[in-house]
Amino acid sequence: MRIALYGSRGKVGVVLEPALLAAGHAVVDGREAGPDGCDAAVDFTRPDAVVANVDRCLAAGVPVVIGTTGFDFGALNVRAKEAGVPCFHAPNFAQGAVLMMRFAEEAAKAFPRAEIVELHSEAKRDAPSGTAKATAARMGTDPTIHSVRLPGLVAHQEVIFGGPGETLTIRHDTTSREAFVPGVRLALEKVRELPPGLTVGLDALL
């Protein structure tokens, strides 16, 4: 595939671009070349840049895989539907994070009291993280979310459940941004088969 990558010089982009090239894709810099002539686009930029990038792709009829977090899903879903273009977003492309959310949803049935602690690099702009918000939505118990931003961290989350005389902790650690590559590649393979509009969550592709 020919892929327009937005955010190629960012912390995720510098890991993603060589992995996509190694998988046999042609990759162009979305900011410099635009999406015209591409089969799909990927955006790992920033909350205040993603919407304009996706709008350019929608105008060009190019499906988009969105990794950037902290944007308005609802508005983008409406515009992608109107444009007749499929888009996909996962708040977390790491396989272990998908399992963490699934396990937390299950545990919440037995433990209604829980809190989430999400820890990310100091450069992360949005808080709480998209993963923490998605986990809370799946648990359905309105857990308090605590956000930690410090140097030395990549992406980490604990969901701590408390009941009489016991606690249960589910923890996921992303130690390298390589963790996001398989999920992004899967989304790129599947995005063109999705219905127009925004599909959210890797579970929808598995």
Residues that bind ligand NAP (CB under 6 A): 6-7, 9-13, 30-31, 44-46, 49, 53, 67-70, 90-93, 123-124, 180
Task: Dig out the tokens for 104 from the structure.
Answer: 């937390």
Q: Which residue is nearest to ligand NAP (CB)?
A: 10
Task: Please state, in angstroms and rounded to a whole number, the distance separating the CA atoms of residues 143 and 10.
Answer: 31
**Closest CB to ligand NAP among residues 59, 123:** 123
Q: Could you give the 3-state DSSP secondary structure of residue 25? A: coil
Strands 64-66 and 86-89 turn out to be parallel
Rounded Cα gap, residues 181 and 104, in angstroms = 23
Least Å from the CB of residue 70 to ligand NAP: 6
Closer residue to ligand NAP, CB minimum distance, 196 or 201: 201
Report the nearest approach of ligand NAP to the CB of residue 83 (Å).
Answer: 19
Query: Of 2 and 112, which CB lies nearer to ligand NAP in the complex structure?
Result: 2
User: Cβ 163 to ligand NAP, closest distance in Å?
Assistant: 31
Q: Among candidates 58, 16, 22, 19, which has minimal Cα distance to 38?
A: 58
The residue (of 124 and 156) whose beta carbon lies closer to ligand NAP is 124
From the CB of 67, what's the least distance to ligand NAP, in Å?
4
How big is the chain by its Cα radius of gyration, in Å?
17
The answer to whether 41 and 6 have CB atoms below 8 angstroms apart is yes
Active site amino acids = 120, 124
